Structure 1
Amino acid sequence: MSAEEVDSLRARVQSAEAALAAARAQVQARRLDVEFTQVRAPISGRVSDRRVDIGNLVSGDAAASATVLTTVNALDPIYFSFDGSESLYLKQRRQKDGSDRVEIRLQDEPDYRWKGKVDFTDNALDNGSGTIRGRAVVDNPNYFLTPGMFGNMRLAAGGARKALLVPDAAVVSDQARKVVYVVTGKDSSVEARPVEAGPLINGLRVIRSGLKPKDRVVISGVQFAASAPKVQTIAGRIEATKVAAAPAVPAPISSQATLAAAR
């Protein structure tokens, strides 16, 4: 066999291999076209309305020119984004148990019924507002919480702690300090006792310091006790009351907290 015939046969083999590769490429392209007829969401959640109808031409090129089919929000769990004050950040950092649990109350709710956990805290405070950006994760099995909702959040302290509780009306302001009137001595004299007040819980004010468990606090007629050196005491009863939810008002930008879909 001549060298010319060998070269001719080799050229025919290479041409056939190229044609076979082109056919396989066409098969793969058609297979991809079939797969592209179905768009599967990478996450599970609640789907929004359909933006295009079946049979319409859509584009999936760049993000700017791509056709939006719909929006899917992963709602369980859901993110609660907030801007916390510097004092809240310091409180969370100084807690002995390192608690990162949060409690959330929606605008029409009297109690902090939603429980979550802080999973992200920014690495710096905003110099302009003095706040730090954070995020909590909240379980939302019934999809009741929706992205965009506003709520109030508080940082939950770890474990139960003993505290003295008095009616909020018993705590009065004396210039820059908080004062509670206490009946002392056998002659029922009244004494103004400076105290450090804490949060309000079911209508009762937490007293962190300044009172003792056996002190007799004036809970009724505080305005008269302030001007009377002695009073006639009548035993009273302190009971917790449920506080109605405050009317919904727009929160300032520096303390807004919103729910966002998980990603």
Structure 2
Amino acid sequence: MRSALFKSPSILVMVGLLTACGGKKDDQKQAAPPPTAVSVAKATKQTATYYDNYPATVTALREVEIQPQVSGNITGIFFDDGQRVRRGQKLYSIDPQQYRASYDQAVANLNVQKANLARAQKDADRYTTLAQQDAIARQVLDNSTAELEAAKRQVDAAQAGIRQVGTNLKYTTIFAPMDGTIGISQVRLGAAVGPGGAVPLNVVSQDDPISVDIQVDESDISRFLMLQSQKNNSRDSTFVFELPGGERYKYPGKIQIVDRAVDPQTGTIRVRVSFPNPEHRLRVGLNGNLRIRNSTNQPQLLIPYQAVTEQMSEYFVYVVGDSSKVTQKKVTLGSRINEKVIVKDGLKEGEVVVTEGTQKVREGAKVKVSNERKSE
């Protein structure tokens, strides 16, 4: 009995220690980290006006290669490289001597054939009169008639020869096919040239108006056809071209052409937008950015772009839910509008997203809202 009494205090002490230790562990489990202070914004729907951006290249609405039609040596160049030229302006001359000699020979041949025709006509007239008097055999008249027809055909052939050599002689002088800007000459005085050369003598480009080419996704074809059908307002700013460096070109554009076919490899179609170019600032081959205004009649869901985080080319936002806990949601984004962005999928109107402090929170973390603003 005594031993039992002596053991009781020890047992009580051990129980007390265990109880105390257990209480500390429970306190540690119950002690949660304080909520993270974040800024938030509410997703709201608004009618959005924004610009879609497309890489663009300046091209000529019309461009003509200057190719020689006859062979010979260049004897004259009548322009300065890069200058403005007018349709019909003299550009090049090719040595015409051999073609002029051929022309003179063809003219002489025509005169000979005309003389033969006159003689054959007189013989046929005379034999016709004699035949009416039964003074000659019928075969003589037939022969003279056949010779007359042959002389006529010889005259026709000689005239065709004159046209051919005359055309060659005309081609020894090359004229500008249209108004535009001519490039740097690819040949010099004395150079031998001929038809079918791999490199043209030069190129003339129409540069006012001038065009800008972009590639658009096949899903946007209907939109661009609609834009093409709309009446253009000279003050409209639907199409804005940005020069290299970000400078905005001061003249607005309009759709000139939507190409006839989609590229099966890329799934895109070429769209050509024309711009006035009275100061000739836009040059063929210049690369820039075409901004196309996109004004939707349907409200779009907008949030601050600051709320978006990117992971492996996918986009996420933290949404503040019940009990101030955050949940990460994957979203599909549309166009960016200044500091905001359109959310196409993954978020509902009225949901609250974290805009500042996203790097401090994790899935299921509790947050404390320090301020809240609408996505306006």
Verify the 8 A CA contact 1:197 1:205 in the aligned structure 2: no
Cα drift, residue 118 of structure 1? 3.3
Alignment of 1:100-119 (within 5 A): 100=224, 108-109=245-246, 116=255, 118-119=258-259
Q: Say if 1:33 and 1:122 are closer, same or farther in 2 by CA, change over 3 A.
A: same
Verify the 8 A CA contact 1:166 1:206 in the aligned structure 2: yes
Q: Give the distance between the partners of 2:143 and 2:168, measured in 1 at CA.
A: 37
Aligned equivalent of 1:78: 211
Alignment of 1:115-130 (within 5 A): 116=255, 118-122=258-262, 124=264, 126=265
Percent identity between the two aligned chains: 24
Aligned equivalent of 2:220: 92
Alignment of 1:219-230 (within 5 A): 219-226=355-362, 229-230=366-367
Structure-1-length-normalised TM-score: 0.58
Q: Say if 1:190 and 1:115 are closer, same or farther in 2 by CA, change over 3 A.
A: farther
What secondary structure does 1:71 align onto? strand
What secondary structure does 2:371 align onto? coil
Cα drift, residue 231 of structure 1? 0.9
Task: Work out which of the residue numbers 201, 208, 214 in structure 2 matches 1:69.
Answer: 201
Task: Work out which of the residue numbers 273, 297, 305 in structure 2 matches 1:168.
Answer: 305
Max radius of gyration: which structure?
2
Greater helix share, 1 or 2? 2
Cα drift, residue 139 of structure 1? 0.5
Aligned equivalent of 2:350: 214
Q: Give the distance between the partners of 1:110 and 1:40, measured in 2 at CA.
A: 37
Q: Say if 1:40 and 1:158 are closer, same or farther in 2 by CA, change over 3 A.
A: farther
Cα drift, residue 71 of structure 1? 1.2
Q: Which amino acid aligns with 1:206?
A: I
Segment of structure 1 superposing worse, 104-113 or 196-205: 104-113
Q: Give the distance between the partners of 1:110 and 1:162, measured in 2 at CA.
A: 31
Verify the 8 A CA contact 2:317 2:354 in the aligned structure 1: yes
Q: Give the distance between the partners of 2:286 and 2:154, measured in 1 at CA.
A: 60
Cα drift, residue 18 of structure 1? 5.7
Q: Give the distance between the partners of 2:311 and 2:159, measured in 1 at CA.
A: 88
Cα drift, residue 79 of structure 1? 6.1
Q: Which runs of 5+ in 2 are unaligned?
A: 1-134, 228-238
Verify the 8 A CA contact 1:183 1:216 in the aligned structure 2: yes
Q: Which runs of 5+ in 1 are unaligned?
A: 240-263
> Number of residue pairs matched?
220
1:87-111 per-residue CA deviation (whole Å, 9 max, x = no partner) reads x43x337xxxx21369776653388
Verify the 8 A CA contact 1:48 1:72 in the aligned structure 2: yes
Cα drift, residue 49 of structure 1? 2.2
What secondary structure does 2:202 align onto? coil
Q: Which amino acid aligns with 2:213?
A: F
Verify the 8 A CA contact 1:99 1:156 in the aligned structure 2: no
Q: Give the distance between the partners of 1:214 and 1:202, measured in 2 at CA.
A: 21
Q: Give the distance between the partners of 1:194 and 1:52, measured in 2 at CA.
A: 65
Q: Which amino acid aligns with 1:118?
A: V
Structure-2-length-normalised TM-score: 0.43
Larger relative contact order (C-alpha < 8 A, sep ≥ 6)?
2
Verify the 8 A CA contact 1:170 1:222 in the aligned structure 2: yes
Q: Say if 1:11 and 1:208 are closer, same or farther in 2 by CA, change over 3 A.
A: closer
Segment of structure 1 superposing worse, 108-117 or 199-208: 108-117
Q: Say if 1:159 and 1:200 are closer, same or farther in 2 by CA, change over 3 A.
A: closer
Q: Which amino acid aligns with 1:99?
A: R
Matched, 1:179 2:179: no
Cα drift, residue 229 of structure 1? 1.2
